[in-house]
Amino acid sequence: MNRKDADIIYEDLYELMERVREKYTLAGFLSVVHSVTILKTALEKQIAKKSIKKPRTHSGGSLCPTCNKIYFNDEIVPNYCNGCGQRLLID
């Protein structure tokens, strides 16, 4: 998943939401908005982000760019953060 793919999906989701808004009750529309919000959060975590390297003066390691979980060994930064599920870009 990359930013371009995600943006295409968002455009489709927003178009679908417009159609839902026209045809559904307010409660039904709000339910769909809630689901789209959850989908967007999950989708954003599939776009790989580079971990943030801490300066060696602060005991080294890397941080998850989304939740700031600290990985103390740069050699074993996982593909996904086990704190929040963010996909991590490995150098």
Q: Whole-angstrom Cα distance, residue 48 to residue 79? A: 9
Segment near Zn ion (CB under 5 A), from 4-12, 29-37, 39-47, 80-88? 80-88
For Zn ion, which is the closer residue by CB, 28 or 78? 78
Give the type of residue at 15.
E
Stretch that binds Zn ion, among 9-17, 21-29, 43-51, 61-69 (CB under 5 A): 61-69
Helix (H) or strand (E) holding 23: helix 3-23
Instruction: Map tokens 């307010």 to a residue.
Output: 26
Which residues contact Zn ion (rule: CB under 5 A)? 64, 66-67, 69, 81, 83-84, 86
